[in-house]
């Protein structure tokens, strides 16, 4: 395991740990208002200070990480659940009508910037965490479909797939038995990348009010609250931001490490 992957895994585990601990314990109840103690700078009692309602920022960040990760994970799961079958189906007959239809639909979804998709969905159904998840989930479907199809297409030209076809196996069966296990690696890598992106997307959408709604804390919501106060109490913006960076760096390092680990391009000397 490379050093980057090691750092990434530790960072990710740490953030995940904070999120899980928040289920049973936080330093303070995250929603507890304490107006007299508002906007306190970091101290021993409040390691990351308090916000404009006197809430403990560390507690909010712990819960916020949980919310943000939850949003990202569910959206990635949507992408995986729909994208992989679609990609496999499209790859089974390259250029066939199923392939064409899936890829063209993908193109259309791809043409919608994520933000445009989120705007459209919230404009119709109102802003909520669920709608942010749907928007990012929809965005993820073509991403995974493309990765799956790309990986699968190169495999379909390999001789061991021909051998399986000569053995009379159906394309569906070959997809499950030979193709999927051999592209699982790139899918895992793409999954971590989309997960990291999801954290950023949640933050951005919640920041402009299209995502998680108060009172639920999320990293993006906290930054939205901090926006007007950043000049007088910088700490309420700095810590949630650092949490986002921590999660994203951790996941990206892990993804890069996994990629190198799964595909060590050893240059063979030919003679």
Partner 1 sequence: MLRYTLKRLISLVLSLAVASLVIFAVIEIAPGDPALFMLGVNAQPDTLAALRTELGLDASKPDRYLAWVGGMLQGDFGTSYTYRTPVAGMIADRLWVSLPLTIYALVISILLAFPAGIYAASRRGKMGDAAMMGTTQLGVAIPNFWFAMMLVLVFAVNLRWFNAGGFPGWDKGVWTGLHALTLPAIALALPQASILARVMRSALLDVLGEDFMRTARAKGLSRGQALWRHGLRNALIPVLTIIGLQVSFLLAGAIIIEQVFYLPGLGRLIFQSINSRDLIVVESVVMLLVFVVITVNFLVDLAYALVDPRLRTRT
Partner 2 sequence: MSLLEIKGLNLSIAGKPILRDVDLTVAKGEIVAVTGESGSGKSITAFSIMQLLPEGAEISGAIQLDGTELTTLPETRLCALRGARIGMVFQEPMSALNPVKTIGDQVAETILIHGAMPKDQARAQAHEMLDRVGLPPDQFSPTRFPHELSGGQRQRVVIAMAIALRPDLLIADEPTTALDVTTQAQILDLLKGLVAEFDMGLLMITHDLAVVSDMADRIVVMRAGEVVETGPTRQLFARMRHPYTRMLFEASRHSVDLPEKHSSEPLLSVQNVVRAYRLPRTKLFAPAEYHRAVDRVSFTLRKGERLGLVGESGCGKSTLTRAILGLEPVQGGQILLNGASVYTERGADLAVRRGMQVVFQDPFGSFNPRHRVARLITEPYHLLEKSPSGAARADAVAEALRAVGLSPDDAGKYIHEFSGGQRQRIAIARALIIKPDLILFDEAVSALDVSVRARILDLVAELCESHDLSYLFISHDLSVVRTITDRVLVMRAGRIVEEGETEQVFSHPTHPYTRALIAAAPVLPDIDTQHRSHPHV
CB of 102 to partner 1, least distance (A): 14
Contact 127, 213 (CB under 8 A): yes
Rounded to 10 degrees, the C-alpha dihedral 18/202/206/21 comes to -10
Question: Which phi and psi (to 5°) does residue 88 adopt?
Answer: -65, -45
Question: Which phi and psi (to 5°) does residue 50 adopt?
Answer: -125, 160
**Segment near partner 1 (CB under 8 A); pick from 27-35, 89-97, 110-118, 167-175:** 110-118
CB of 210 to partner 1, least distance (A): 8
CB of 103 to partner 1, least distance (A): 12
Kindly write down the DSSP assignment for every residue of 53-69, as one continuous string. T--BHHHHHHHHHHHHH
- Residue (16 or 249) nearer to partner 1, CB: 249
What does 98 bind: partner 1, partner 2, none (CB cut-off 5 to 8 Å by kind)? none
Contact 96, 227 (CB under 8 A): no
Residues 135 to 194: which contact partner 2 by CB under 8 A? Answer: 158-160, 162-171, 178, 181-182
Using the rule CB under 8 A, is 33 a contact of partner 2?
Answer: no
Residues 220 to 249: which contact partner 1 by CB under 8 A? Answer: 223, 226-227, 230-231, 234, 237-238, 240-241, 244-245, 248-249
* Rounded Cα gap, residues 221 and 238, in angstroms: 13
- Residue (68 or 175) nearer to partner 1, CB: 68
CB of 198 to partner 2, least distance (A): 30
Rounded to 10 degrees, the C-alpha dihedral 238/239/241/246 comes to 130
């Amino acid at each position: 395991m490379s050093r980057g992957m090691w750092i990434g895994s530790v960072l990710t585990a740490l953030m995940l740990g904070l999120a899980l601990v928040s289920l049973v314990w936080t330093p303070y109840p995250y929603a507890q208002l304490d107006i007299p103690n508002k906007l306190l700078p970091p101290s021993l009692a409040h390691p990351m200070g308090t916000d404009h309602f006197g809430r403990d920022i560390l507690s909010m960040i712990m819960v916020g990480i949980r919310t943000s990760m939850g949003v990202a994970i569910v959206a990635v799961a949507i992408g995986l659940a729909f994208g992989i079958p679609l990609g496999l189906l499209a790859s089974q007959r390259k250029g066939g009508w199923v392939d064409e239809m899936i890829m063209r639909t993908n193109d259309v979804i791809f043409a919608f910037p994520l933000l445009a998709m989120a705007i459209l969905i919230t404009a119709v159904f109102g802003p909520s965490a669920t709608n942010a998840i749907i928007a990012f989930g929809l965005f993820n479907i073509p991403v995974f479909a493309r990765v799956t199809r790309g990986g699968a297409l190169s495999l379909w030209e390999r001789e061991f797939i021909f051998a399986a076809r000569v053995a009379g196996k159906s394309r569906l069966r070959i997809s499950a038995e030979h193709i999927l296990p051999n592209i699982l690696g790139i899918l895992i890598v793409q999954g971590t990348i989309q997960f990291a992106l999801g954290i950023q997307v949640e933050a951005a959408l919640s920041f402009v009010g299209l995502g998680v709604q108060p009172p639920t804390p999320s990293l993006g919501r906290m930054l939205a609250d901090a926006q007007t106060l950043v000049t007088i109490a910088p700490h309420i913006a700095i810590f949630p931001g650092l949490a986002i960076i921590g999660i994203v760096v951790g996941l990206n390092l892990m993804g890069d490490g996994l990629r190198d680990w799964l595909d060590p391009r050893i240059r063979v000397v030919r003679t």
